[in-house]
Chain A
Amino acid sequence: MNYQQATWEQETEGGEAVNEPLLSEKRMETVSHEDVDLPDELVRDELTLPEPAEPEVASHYTRLSQMNYSVEHGPYPLGSCTMKYNPKFIEDVAALEDAAMHPDRPEADAQGTLTLLYRLQEYLAEIGGMETVTLQPPAGAAGEFTGLLVARAYHRSNDEDAERREVIVPASAHGTNFASAAMAGYDVVELPSNEDGRVPVDALEEAVGESTAALMLTNPNTLGLFERDIEDIAETVHEAGGLLYYDGANLNALLGRARPGDMGFDIMHYNVHKTFASPHGGGGPGAGPIGVIDELTEFLPDPHVRKADDGSFELSEPAESVGKVHGFHGNWLVLLKTYAYISRLGDAGLKDTSAMAVLNANYLASQIDLDIPYEPFHHEFVASAGDVDAAEFAKGMLDEGVHPPTTKWPEIVDEALMTEPTEALNKDQLDILAEAFTAASRKTPEQLAAAPTTTAAARIDQTGAARNPRLSWRDLEGNDE
């Protein structure tokens, strides 16, 4: 495929070659506050910011957008990120005037919003097989953190918090699992995978005990494999008095086929920006609702949307709530988009989503001539770039007009290419993506080192960026003072 990303190559006044000048290199203005009725010592001397006219703003950001690859350009198979199509109508729903509301509105004045949030809680509980859901955590990692706060509150209620100081995390887990456990004050115990890429039950039996607070697990795991021993795993953790936490990053594989609650999980988070199509927005916002079993319901964050006896909806504080994990009610607009997506799809659409996601991953894998050491995988697979550095391999794929997979992780596969096409690609696009793998694998090391050549920027010196951090336009030469 011939592909060329847009760019507007030019030189700044300082003689530096750029793709599009910074706003600060166009027109800056310095203003001071002459007439404001405040004592001088409370007022800043001056303020310097860009001062573009609206046509210039529009042109600047339109150009920037065209130097940015997105889901709507084509395949974006980042593993564990679920880069699926984001329906347009959910944006219109989020833009409804009645959605724009202050978070401190009394419950009686917010019944529409609370009804919708309550229904979304119910939908997610049903989909995950959990008893109760809170929508407050603003991202997946925030959901993990919240889930561990709930676990801690539970152990504290049993007077076991002082002993249960460990969270067990499989080596192949998402990096956030480790970090969330540490933030919640836990010691992390890393559990290596067994030779078929799954959690080794015998090693888990050794690892659990009176110090175990929880085991965090994603299923299918990051290799796309279903943890077939999940019932034994759950029993092992529960017998030791620990809780089982489900990382929902890979839920797109299982909609309507298996539910974390039925597998024995006690706490789970949902990544709505992955599974339920709210847009990724260049890094967020997402939302990370968590679901819990009945026994943990009263530990959920405050407030929780509940149905009152008179049928109205209220914000209530669970009896033993962990308190708050967001200043208000979480990422409301994202939750609204999630509700719209789930309502559109219904049972049949949700089940079809996972069916097509798994079909797409398996078909794509069948068209790629690289070693895929672990199977049977579901919505994603991890191929090995073999003797080639996976990061270099990815740069080679960029020139084929696709986004490459997640690279060099999980580490259990050498030079990993973690690939998740999602349900949203048709067969032609999957073939194009497969050809991109093939094209990259045929490139010589020299060709890969010279890649990419079709993107707005050629290969970027990342080490240089870290060695000498320039983090604002003030840090750039010729632009300070």
Chain B
Amino acid sequence: MTMQRIQHDEGDRTHEPAESSPFAPQTPQEVEEMLSAIGAESVEELFDVPEAVAFDGDFDIDAKSEFEVVTEIEELLGRNADRTEFLGRGHYDHYVPSVVDYLSLRSEFLTSYTQYQPETSQGFLQALFEFQSMIVELTGLPVANCSMYDAATALGEAATLAARVRDTSGSRVLVPETIRSERRSVLENYTEGAELTVGTYPLVDGNVDLDALTELFDDDIVMVYAESPTARGAIEERLPSIATLADDHEAAFCLGSDPVALALLQEPAAVGADIVIGDASVLGLSASYGMGLGLFAVKQAYLRQVPGRLVGTSKTADGRRAYTLTLQTREQHIRKERATSNICTNQAWVALRTAIHIASLGASGLSALAEDCVTTAAEAAARLNDIDGISAPVDDRHHFREFVARTNRPATEVVSELAEKGFLVHEAGEFEVQVCVTETNSGDLDDLVAAVREVLG
């Protein structure tokens, strides 16, 4: 070990703009020694780039000190308006306990990668195995993978899986008309390559219109998708009937949900779901501009067609239980164009955070959180309903976290006037707004109600 003499005027590296990369530790002397060992005169000599395609310009990006970068980003993000969000529709803000940050940010977890060498990666593998196990408990389905990117891409993967597992060919996927248009667009991109098309079925009073769905169903449908809670926050009451319809036509039934809702609502396996997708990062990440964690669970018969990483147990040479990535012949690095998916890098670290969050809540904490999502939404709807000019909820259903309210003035105006008063709600229709309440904004509910009273009362 040698000590490097630092010239006094070079200063502290973290406080001076970088002239070289502050994250490349080679000293000038080491560079010389290394070049000499290679037998090269200069580092430039090591680049075998033909002159015609070489780049000798600049990117015009000024190096900054750490302090300058942090200050700049603080200033930039400070330009985001300071508003209280009552926003949901597929992305939710639950309080994430500090223990999740402190443990997940341990560099042993954060700076590792896919567990190609399981013997030296037991910790992350066990954490992912436990994540899979938690999803199995929540869904009742026996197989859950380590993650997809988000709910939308998980839905896309579900559709192509449904087409692969079917004995007979089919060409259509059915989704609720209330699905977020963004989620549907992702689904359509995934299904296009598999030559499937996406159609919708109507809802009546917040739940699936069973008569209409029955009418639409035929043997050409490879998968039907339903959500509970729906994008409008309603708890779907007709899941078992959808499952029966799907069964009758050899279609897969895919349910969209999330781990908080699943802690309370009837188990997907019990209502006949073949696949469950959703955003699991409702636990583990606070609002993060849409970054997610695709939940993906299936029934046993689909095991060999599952996309993404799976962790299983095995034994070590000395007889201990150990964890390892398994069934990798499904995956792109082995099976190439015949793989079940192209996914490689996934959302493993978010899965770790979700698992830590679930563990720290425990069965009783998670269960209480889920119950609060029903109670708080009902209370909030009732309070808004007391105001003249607004009625809530529009859908005569039970709700989870959020609900749609009807306004007597155009929703665009209502949304923008509420924003001026510091509150963000969704525009859900021409005379409809959508309001989402969790423990992170329920303390501001009084103020929201007062603002709505001023705008509409």
**B363 to A49, Cβ gap below 8 A?**
yes
**A96 to B398, Cβ gap below 8 A?**
no
A281–B284 alpha-carbon span in the complex (Å): 14
A475–B323 alpha-carbon span in the complex (Å): 13
Which listed residue, B109, B326, B347, touches A65 by the CB 8 Å rule?
Answer: B109
Enumerate the 9 nearest inter-chain pairs by beta-carbon distance, A residue then B residue, closest first: A328-B290, A281-B349, A346-B63, A283-B348, A327-B152, A185-B193, A103-B290, A68-B123, A112-B79
Closest to A24 in B: B133
Given contacts A323-B188, A457-B118, contact A69 B112 (CB under 8 A): yes
In the complex, 10 of the A-B residue pairs with CB atoms within 8 angstroms, ordered by the A residue number, are A22-B129, A29-B364, A76-B112, A141-B345, A179-B337, A345-B18, A359-B38, A378-B46, A457-B316, A469-B327
Closest to B193 in A: A185
**B310 to A106, Cβ gap below 8 A?**
no
Which residues of B378-396 have CB atoms within 8 Å of chain A's CB atoms?
378
Contact partners of A426 in chain B: CB under 8 A = 25-26, 30
**A363 to B77, Cβ gap below 8 A?**
no
Interface string of B52-84 (1 = CB under 8 A from A): 111100111111111001101110111111010
Flag whether A43 is at the interface (Cβ < 8 A): yes
Which listed residue, B63, B118, B123, B374, touches A460 by the CB 8 Å rule?
Answer: B118
**B78 to A98, Cβ gap below 8 A?**
yes
**B61 to A343, Cβ gap below 8 A?**
yes
Given contacts A359-B35, A427-B30, contact A36 B289 (CB under 8 A): no
**A48 to B137, Cβ gap below 8 A?**
yes
**A54 to B24, Cβ gap below 8 A?**
no
Closest to A322 in B: B189
A472–B152 alpha-carbon span in the complex (Å): 24
Closest to A331 in B: B291
Which listed residue, B1, B185, B235, B329, touches A42 by the CB 8 Å rule?
Answer: B235
Which residues of B168-185 have CB atoms within 8 Å of chain A's CB atoms?
180, 182-183, 185
**A231 to B52, Cβ gap below 8 A?**
yes
Which listed residue, A31, A71, A362, touches B111 by the CB 8 Å rule?
Answer: A71
Measured CB to CB, the closest approach of chain B to A457, in angstroms, equals 4
Flag whether B117 is at the interface (Cβ < 8 A): yes
Which listed residue, B80, B126, B333, B424, touches A111 by the CB 8 Å rule?
Answer: B80
**B288 to A100, Cβ gap below 8 A?**
yes
Interface string of A1-14 (1 = CB under 8 A from B): 00001000100000
Which residues of A97-133 have CB atoms within 8 Å of chain B's CB atoms?
98-106, 108-113, 115-116, 123, 126-127, 129
Measured CB to CB, the closest approach of chain A to B351, in angstroms, equals 8
A307–B426 alpha-carbon span in the complex (Å): 24
Measured CB to CB, the closest approach of chain B to A301, in angstroms, equals 9
**B337 to A178, Cβ gap below 8 A?**
yes
Which range holds the interface residue count of chain B?
Answer: 35 or more
**B332 to A472, Cβ gap below 8 A?**
no
Could you tell me the dominant secondary structure of chain A's interface residues?
mixed
**A115 to B76, Cβ gap below 8 A?**
yes
Contact partners of A50 in chain B: CB under 8 A = 358-359, 362-363
Given contacts A58-B103, A93-B69, A376-B46, contact A282 B352 (CB under 8 A): yes
Contact partners of B72 in chain A: CB under 8 A = 343
Flag whether B150 is at the interface (Cβ < 8 A): yes
Contact partners of A244 in chain B: CB under 8 A = none
Interface string of B20-49 (1 = CB under 8 A from A): 111111100011011101111001001111
Interface string of A270-311 (1 = CB under 8 A from B): 010100010111111110100000000000001000000000
**B186 to A326, Cβ gap below 8 A?**
yes
Which listed residue, A19, A42, A87, A378, touches B266 by the CB 8 Å rule?
Answer: A42
**A366 to B37, Cβ gap below 8 A?**
yes
**B398 to A38, Cβ gap below 8 A?**
yes
Contact partners of B61 in chain A: CB under 8 A = 123, 126, 342-343, 345-347, 350
Flag whether A334 is at the interface (Cβ < 8 A): yes
Flag whether A149 is at the interface (Cβ < 8 A): yes
Flag whether A325 is at the interface (Cβ < 8 A): yes
**A47 to B363, Cβ gap below 8 A?**
yes
A50–B222 alpha-carbon span in the complex (Å): 36
Contact partners of A103 in chain B: CB under 8 A = 91, 289-290
A97–B399 alpha-carbon span in the complex (Å): 29
**A427 to B26, Cβ gap below 8 A?**
yes
Interface string of A247-265 (1 = CB under 8 A from B): 0000000101111001100
- Which of B141-149, B212-220, B443-451 contacts the other chain? B141-149
A52–B360 alpha-carbon span in the complex (Å): 7
